[in-house]
Chains A and B, each alone.
Chain A
Amino acid sequence: MPNHQPVANSRFEPRITAFFCNWCTYLAADLAGTSRMKYAPNTRVIRVMCSGRIDPQFVLDAFAHGADGVLIGGCHPGDCHYQEGNYKALRRYYLLKRMLMDMGIEEDRFRLEWISAAEGDRVRTVINDMVEKVRALGPLDLRTPIPETLPEEVTV
């Protein structure tokens, strides 16, 4: 796992891995570009054809390889270029979110947003907002050892 290199006198810059679908959110990010909107440079976008392509393992892999947050961008419900891939993404998102929280990964580190090709401004606000929230949480530290015994109230 790569090390976060804390730089003296500088605030923590979170690393966000983003998965954007080709037809809506990727286009929205392009629109943000052509509109010269300015947002935080903390994301790295990985293009997939549909948010339905996003395997939960991609998210886990991103967290395991340096991401402090993972953002999924897809088409609004009813707008999927492939009819319903975004609904599949939504189902997987909720399930995975619960799992991540059980693993101690805070809720704000994993986010799903519907952003249509027309919503360049939303790309900006979502990314800026997420960067601030993850910044507040600090670096993701997967190396904190898990306690050997669970707290008493939850042991069966």
Chain B
Amino acid sequence: MPEAANPAAAENREAARVGVYVCHCGTNIAGTVDVKSVAEYAAGLPNVVVSREYKYMCSDPGQALIQQDIKEHKLNRIVVASCSPLLHEPTFRRVLDRAGINAFFLQFVNIREHVSWVHTDKEASTAKTRDLVRAAVRRVCLHKPLQKRQVPIDPRVLVVGGGIAGIHAALTMAEAGKEVFLVEREPTIGGHMAMFDKTFPTLDCAACILTPKMTSVGSHPRIKLWTYSEVVSVDGYVGNYKVTVKHKPRYVIDDLCIGCQECIAACVYKDGKTPDEFNQGLSKRKPVYLPFPQAVPQKVVIDPEACIEFKSGKCKKTCVEACGDRHAIDFKQKETFDEIEVGTIILATGFKTFDAKRYPDYGYGRYPEVYTSLEIERLINASGPTGGELTLKNGKKPQSTAIIHCVGSRDHNTNRWCSKVCCMYSLKLAHLVRERTGAEVFNFYLDMRTPGKGYEEFYDRLLDEGVHFVRGLVFEISDFAAHPSEEGKLVLRVEDTLGGFVRRVPVDMVILSVGMEPQADAQDVRRLFNISCATEGWFLERHPKLAPVSTFTEGVYIAGACQGPKDIPESVAQAGAAAAAALALIDAKTVELEPYTASIYEDECCGCKTCVPLCPYGAISFVAEKKKAAVNEVLCKGCGTCVAGCPSGSITQNFFDDAEIFEEIEGVWSHA
């Protein structure tokens, strides 16, 4: 059957001159697989002309070895047994290309991730490698020359998320002359960084370094900023994405609102009644509001959940009166949609903080003087709800404050990862709390982790400032006073692991250094953009070291904390890297797509139309005159579902042809 479907197969097999290259990968492979015996075994397989093993096939000498053999031994098929094809298949395809044979005459065998790293028995691993190499040798003989498809790249770019990473990426792209769409779901850009007071370790004020960038985004001629908007669908492929963006109704007409905020002053609510999201619910806002004074864009929003007009329709509408002849308020506004075309996408959707209520023993939500770190950021912020005054609920300054590290980090019951930023921001908060209130500050830490430029020095500085550090896990916070001196205080019970005993520490105020978590809807976003998440829910990069901002979907890049916990400098660096990667793609003007498309053997197609509805991309049509199916190669993404579904076997897929796969299936267990 397979041979019949591919009459050239037998001929290919005759003419094939195969070179087999087994990589040691140092000891990564050679430690578990007897590579020498595999190479010797492969040398005896039909069609194999050369078979070698080498320390590092991917190195320059390794590549040169293949190139030289191709010339010297007139090889026309190559099998490389090394790491995952997702890592080095492109590398070795380029080798074939340079040596003057078609790049697709290569078959890659994964003997590192799939063999040596997952097995311990050397004999079994070697046997498995032999099987895989044999199947590859059989398969590669049938490979046909293929050409990658060239498609043009739309130079426009979409950036999703308007935190510091998204802002930096958008500005970098725009400065490079590209047209940028920046989509942010909140009414303003700025993200978490806009909430912070100071940044570690330099203690420069977050707003001073962020707001100029926010303003640049808002006024940049090449950035189309869409706040209060979300991406709802993504179609297309690298270089040619079609994206639909939903604009949620602000009930304020963007172009007419000048940000004078007179409507806010005029609202029938004299005081706010709704918890202010930006201030972590520590203050109240009115139904018509600006998220914070430096918000970009400076356009107010009306919250229909809180506004009387939306609830009863009987409001005096003093806001409309105040807006006057600007007529910017529109209670009938509906959500609208924009369809845009972009070539590349940068995702910078950020993180959320750990919900401290998940540790009931810490009493967050029960004891009013237990705060999260983000709440303290707002309370010590000059533009925060208290104007930067850090006081207890009774108005007095705290005499003593505890900062508990690793809340929702490094814990097998919640999140196993280290959130990376908490040690440093806890030190920063310790410094600020001490500076503002003069309180005694206790840090309860598991391990201090302060790698980074100037970070350890900052830790040293705090030690000199007289901040206390207790190594150990706080296991309970209560208001139970065991001694008169503990009356009215929160008592922390902690295992001091350096002292080797349990301490009781009474304090006035507790700060929980909450960790970072993937956004609640990270899974939905991942599906939308067709990328993957790692086990913990962070977006998965193409390679943890060598492709940290690329994803497995070409043309989609990730930046900032959506990929994993990161501080501001790292997020900015990644955003710059993502922008550079997108720019490299755009400036190449065209991109090569894998040629794995399907095509129809017209002679054999009986016109049954089974394949037509199978294609999710509408790439298959039925040509009525010929009574045959036809594949539109531009639309085909190369999944091969139609090939498997065709009852007469008259569809083929490049590089995954039936004959090639059958050869592999039969090869893996055909102990020669």
Contacts and interface: CB of A to CB of B under 8 A. Distances in A.
A44 B662 contact: no
A34 B1 CA distance: 39
Contacts of A82: 616, 637, 639, 641
Contacts of B532: 23-24, 27, 116-118
A44 B128 contact: yes
Interface residues of B, number: 56
Interface string B528-542: 001011111000100
B125 interface: yes
Interface string A17-30: 10000011011011
B641 A30 contact: no
B570 interface: no
Interface stretch (B327-335, B449-457, B664-672): B664-672
Nearest to B669: A66
A33 interface: yes
Nearest to B646: A55
Interface stretch (B42-50, B111-119, B177-185, B392-400): B111-119
B644 interface: yes
A127 to B, nearest CB: 9
B127 to A, nearest CB: 8
Categorize the interface residue count of chain A. 35 or more
Given A33-B113, A33-B117, A55 B658 contact: yes
Contacts of A24: 532
Contacts of B535: 118-121
Contacts of B441: none
B669 A88 contact: no
Contacts of A46: 135, 661, 664-665, 668
Nearest to B85: A47
Interface in A1-45: 2, 13, 15, 17, 23-24, 26-27, 29-30, 32-34, 36-39, 41, 44-45
Interface in A59-110: 61-62, 65-67, 78-79, 81-85, 88, 92
A67 to B, nearest CB: 6
Contacts of B84: 30, 33
A73 B277 CA distance: 43
A43 B653 CA distance: 25
A44 B661 CA distance: 13
Contact of B639 (A47, A53, A66, A121): A53
Contacts of A15: 669
Interface in B615-631: 616-617
A113 to B, nearest CB: 16
A148 to B, nearest CB: 28
B671 to A, nearest CB: 6
Contact of A49 (B117, B128, B614, B639): B639
Contact of B643 (A17, A34, A55, A56): A55
B232 interface: no
B641 A52 contact: yes
Contacts of B135: 44, 46
A54 interface: yes
A134 interface: no
A88 B645 CA distance: 9
B272 interface: no
B120 interface: yes
Q: Which of B118, B532, B533 has the most CB of A within 10 A?
A: B118
A69 B124 CA distance: 18
Interface in B117-135: 117-121, 124-125, 127-128, 131-132, 135
Given A48-B640, A55-B661, 17 more contacts: A2-B671, A13-B124, A17-B669, A32-B113, A33-B117, A49-B639, A49-B640, A50-B639, A50-B641, A53-B644, A57-B1, A57-B658, A84-B616, A116-B533, A118-B532, A118-B535, A121-B535
Interface of A: 2, 13, 15, 17, 23-24, 26-27, 29-30, 32-34, 36-39, 41, 44-50, 52-58, 61-62, 65-67, 78-79, 81-85, 88, 92, 116-121, 124
6 contacts: A49-B653, A50-B641, A53-B653, A55-B643, A83-B616, A85-B641
Which 8 residue pairs of A and B lie closest in terms of their CB atoms, listed nearest first? A66-B669, A33-B113, A53-B640, A52-B641, A82-B639, A50-B639, A44-B668, A83-B616
